[in-house]
Amino acid sequence: MSPQLPPVAPAVTAELVAALSPRLRKRLDSGIAKLADRPVVRDGAVVRIAVDDDTDLELHAPDGAVRGADAVRCGCLLAPDCLHRAAAASLAPVAEDTDSAAPQDHSAAEEDAAQAPETATPEQRAAVRAVQLATSAVLEAGTDGAGAVLQAELLRAAHTARLAGLHRAAATAVSVVTALRAARAADPAYRLTDLAAGLYEVLSVAHRLPSASGGELTALRGSARQPYRPDGSLRLYGLFSEPVLTASGYAGAVTWTADAEGRLYQVSDVAPGGAGRAVGAADRTVRIGDTALTHRELARAGLAVSGATVSPTGRLGAGAGVRAVRAPGVGWHEEPVARLWAEPVPGQIARALAGGRDLLFLDVTLTGTAAEAAGDCLLADCAGVPLRLTAAHDDPALPHRDNLRLLSAARGTRLRVVARLTPAPHPRAQLLAAEHPTRADTRLDIGLDRLQGADLPTTATPSGSVPVPVPVPVPASASASASASDEAPIHLLRRRVHQTVSGGRPVLALPGDTRADARHLRRSGLTTAAELLTDLHSAAADRAHDVFGRLRPTDPDRFARAWLAAAHYTSELDRTLCLAAWTP
């Protein structure tokens, strides 16, 4: 996916692909691959792609994104019904909804909720059914088979869902398309687990919404806009900043702050862009009140805000009535922010797994490094729990990997850190911020500040040499924990769930004996897992013949339901194992 192309609205891509003839639809994926190698030039709000020496294709994005089909223009003889327009839209990132970040006052949000029907409307039922069918088709095809045509069908369903007020289903469906494109483009940032989680979320919402009512229905619908509630005056203390870099073409920075009660608030600056914007956003002035603080400065200072407006997730509004001035900050070992680290770790994990904030405030001792398929991770001891700290981003423009590599050479160093929980059967989190390994009064934003060899303890770096982290054996307790989780029989079901996402129904329909895996699960007391595994394979291989011996069409609904049940079971079991793993 080219980061130079402006994001394109889901409805635009769906419209352009739908307009293609059946013959051109078959050629769409190859057309995308050819277009990806062509030169791209940006001229203000217009991006030009040289289709060939004599033909240009233009994407007009006056507000940073392409919002209409007529904004994609091609100079070839077959335009406007040519392949190039659909290929360009399918190649570009997916634009977010124009109203997704618009502030909304709290009274309006309450009024909307009060007027919402107690059960799903016929329009919503039809829209969520379309999302379900499109998602089931993607699941059946797998990443290898879910090309631009299936992606466009899911984008069309997402657009219909948004118009019907089903914003949660629409947003998650778009995220699935983004992950599919990353997978097919061999993007290093792609994670199979993220795509599996997105598919699970969409199918789960589609399954539950038709029969939901009351508060459950409201949660399943989701919200188009962030409702901002007036919150009076706030005294905030900076904690850290992190870069934002999404696969959908957005970048920037978010600075986290806390008030005297330990509640977290964020100041964000995210807009269309790439890694360059993510790196530079930290030195941009925060957009709140009249303050001249940059994000990097706010992370270490404080803020006094009057007339504050705050979203349910803690994001600070930047309306005309908001006033903000710089105030003194405090260290991580000083009150009131020190109380964030005083909360027992199991309580932090339980809250994150229950859908609360996923930030963890931990005191750790660095123990070395361990090699993983995605790259080396930093090993640490956290109150007797062996922890793996990983990079939040792999983009080389951001210093996450380099900082983890250097920190791994400072074995034995005790640090106070901020991390984001990664649900797994073993303790695992993304390192976001940390105390400096040699300067106690200094903090490091792991995604923005670059450590140097001179910053390490003298015992970690021989004189005149470059620090080279040496992998060390994982402590016995960590080895036992990792081995137990890796060998847990549930992996027999989980890997089938993930194989479906990659290879679709055909992979699970291949001839093979699953009875051995089912027996292993039953012997381990996981009878339900054994039944789900058997049902998933049965649904994949279910191809009945008609009276003439011809194969009947597959039943995508049955296969999707079987996969959803298996994914739900493994998700809930993983949640339980994760909480248990963090308990010393």
Q: What is the pLDDT of residues 301-341, one digit of tens each?
A: 999 999 988 988 889 988 788 899 999 999 999 999 999 99
Contact 413, 402 (CB under 8 A): no
Q: What is the mean pLDDT of residues 544-573?
A: 83
Gap between the Cα atoms of 366 and 356, Å rounded = 27
> What pLDDT does 401 receive?
93
- The distance of Cα 331 from the centroid of its chain, to the nearest Å, equals 30
Residues 6+ apart with CB under 8 A from 50: 38, 39, 40, 41, 56
The pTM for the full model equals 0.79
pLDDT at 481 over 60: no
Q: What is the mean pLDDT of residues 546-571?
A: 84
Q: What is the mean pLDDT of residues 108-137?
A: 78
Contact 509, 539 (CB under 8 A): no
Q: How far is CA 493 from each of CA 201, 372, 499, 538, 543, rounded to the nearest angstrom?
A: 18, 22, 10, 14, 22
pLDDT at 191 over 90: no
Measured in degrees and rounded to the nearest 5, phi and psi for residue 266 equal -125, 145
- Of residues 238 and 109, more confidence is placed in 238
Across the chain, mean pLDDT equals 86
The share of the chain scoring above pLDDT 70, in percent, equals 88
Q: What is the mean pLDDT of residues 58-63?
A: 93
Q: How many helices (H) does the chain have, and how many strands (E)? A: 21, 16
> What pLDDT does 546 receive?
63
Please report which helix (H) or strand (E) contains residue 488, including its range: none
pLDDT at 243 over 70: yes
* Closest to 382 in 3D by CA, of 361, 359, 408, 363: 363
pLDDT at 107 over 50: no
- Of residues 115 and 352, more confidence is placed in 352
SS3 category, 313 = coil
Contact 422, 428 (CB under 8 A): yes
Measured in degrees and rounded to the nearest 5, phi and psi for residue 507 equal -65, -45
pLDDT at 227 over 90: no
Contact 293, 326 (CB under 8 A): yes
Strand partners, 420: 359, 430
Strand partners, 29: none
> What pLDDT does 33 receive?
93
* Closest to 435 in 3D by CA, of 420, 415, 453: 415
H-assigned helices in 52-121:
83-91, 106-115
SS (H, E, C) 399-435: CHHHHHHHHCCCCCCEEEEEEEECCCCCCEEEEEEEE
* pLDDT tens track for 200-220: 999 999 999 999 999 999 999
Q: How far is CA 194 from each of CA 69, 103, 363, rounded to the nearest angstrom?
A: 30, 28, 28
> What pLDDT does 247 receive?
72
Please report which helix (H) or strand (E) contains residue 235, including its range: strand 227-245
Burial of 549 from C-beta contacts in 10 A (0-12 / 13-18 / 19+):
exposed
Lowest-pLDDT choice from 73-87, 180-194, 230-244, 417-431: 180-194
- Of residues 110 and 4, more confidence is placed in 4
Gap between the Cα atoms of 317 and 314, Å rounded = 9
> What pLDDT does 225 receive?
67
Strand partners, 315: 266
Burial of 171 from C-beta contacts in 10 A (0-12 / 13-18 / 19+):
buried
The shares of helix, strand and coil residues in the chain, as percent rounded to the nearest 5, are: 45, 20, 35
Amino acid making up residue 167:
H
Which single residue is written with the structure tokens 């394109």? Answer: 8
Contact 167, 124 (CB under 8 A): no
SS3 category, 325 = strand
Gap between the Cα atoms of 23 and 16, Å rounded = 14
Q: How confident is the model at residue 100 (pLDDT cuts 50, 70, 90)?
A: very low
> What pLDDT does 292 receive?
85
> What pLDDT does 543 receive?
65
SS (H, E, C) 34-64: HHHCCCEEEECCEEEEECCCCCEEEEECCCC
Token pair recorded at residue 256: 């986290």
SS3 category, 131 = helix
SS3 category, 179 = helix
pLDDT at 115 over 90: no
Amino acid making up residue 220:
L
Tell me whether the omega of the peptide bond preceding residue 396 falls within 30 degrees of 0, making it cis. Answer: no
Contact 162, 97 (CB under 8 A): yes
Please report which helix (H) or strand (E) contains residue 254, including its range: strand 250-258
> What pLDDT does 117 receive?
59
Task: Say what the alpha-carbon torsion angle 374, 379, 383, 384 is, to the nearest 10 degrees.
Answer: 100
